């Protein structure tokens, strides 16, 4: 056995070394998981080409993709930001392990602020810089990701909110939610009116199917 006693570091290590001047700075999305999950299919729909370029670059870089594919990575980040712009959080009295994002000044043009009660009773204040989804579908987007936040991020618990968001995004941005690798001869899981794993039956809501909406518009 080794004679050296084990040592454990409980500190968070942060590398403060700045990137070289040759690497342009790009703002990170900085979002938590529920809003990103809500917007993820639309980010994928718009940014697929950039994502594919980045993954191809990493595959061909033979283990040096983090260094040699920074340009492609910045394109992915900028494209994702064009669909969804990160929320800035200010949490009062919440648990210490919550992420902390605080805006650095007064709310700018196009920012909104609203309050919501978290499960543990603390007040959560969010500010969104409106862009694309936030510009055209803020209310639907907010309802969906808050449902995911309160529903353990189980998509099948929030289908009615998802259908309204999908319709709004398709009508305004022409972005469609497509789940990869769905069987061709079956209804996609997110378009099924009966979600067998949901805690409660879906009443008074119908799935939004872009193909049926287009056919209806064409016939009329």
What are the pLDDT digits (tens) for 158-188? 999 999 999 999 999 889 998 888 888 888 8
pLDDT of residue 61: 92
pLDDT of residue 55: 94
The DSSP symbol for 50 reads H
pLDDT of residue 125: 30
Give the three-class secondary structure for 117: strand
Residue tagged 């403060």 (tokens) = 16
pLDDT of residue 2: 61
Residues of the chain with pLDDT below 70 are 1-2, 6-13, 84-131, 213-220
Answer whether 111's CB lies under 8 Å from 130's CB: yes
Segments making up each domain of the chain, as ranges: 86-128
């Amino acid at each position: 056995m080794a004679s050296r006693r084990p040592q454990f570091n409980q500190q968070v290590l942060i590398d403060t070394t700045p990137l070289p001047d040759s690497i342009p700075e790009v703002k990170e999305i900085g979002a938590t998981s529920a809003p990103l999950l809500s917007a993820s299919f639309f980010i994928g729909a718009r940014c697929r080409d950039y994502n594919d370029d980045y993954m191809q670059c990493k595959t061909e870089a033979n283990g040096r993709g983090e260094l040699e594919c920074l340009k492609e990575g910045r394109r992915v980040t900028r494209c994702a930001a064009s669909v969804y712009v990160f929320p800035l959080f200010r949490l009062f009295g919440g648990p210490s392990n919550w992420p902390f994002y605080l805006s650095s000044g007064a709310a700018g043009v196009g920012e909104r602020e609203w309050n919501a009660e978290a499960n543990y009773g603390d007040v959560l204040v969010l500010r969104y810089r409106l862009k694309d989804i936030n510009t055209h579908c803020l209310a639907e987007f907010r309802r969906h990701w808050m449902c995911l936040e309160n529903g353990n991020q189980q998509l099948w618990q929030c289908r009615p909110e998802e259908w309204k968001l999908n319709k709004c995004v398709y009508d305004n941005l022409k972005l469609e939610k497509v789940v990869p690798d769905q069987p061709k001869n079956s209804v996609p899981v997110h378009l099924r009116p009966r979600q067998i794993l949901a805690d409660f039956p879906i009443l008074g809501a119908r799935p939004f199917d872009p193909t049926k909406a287009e056919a209806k518009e064409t016939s009329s």
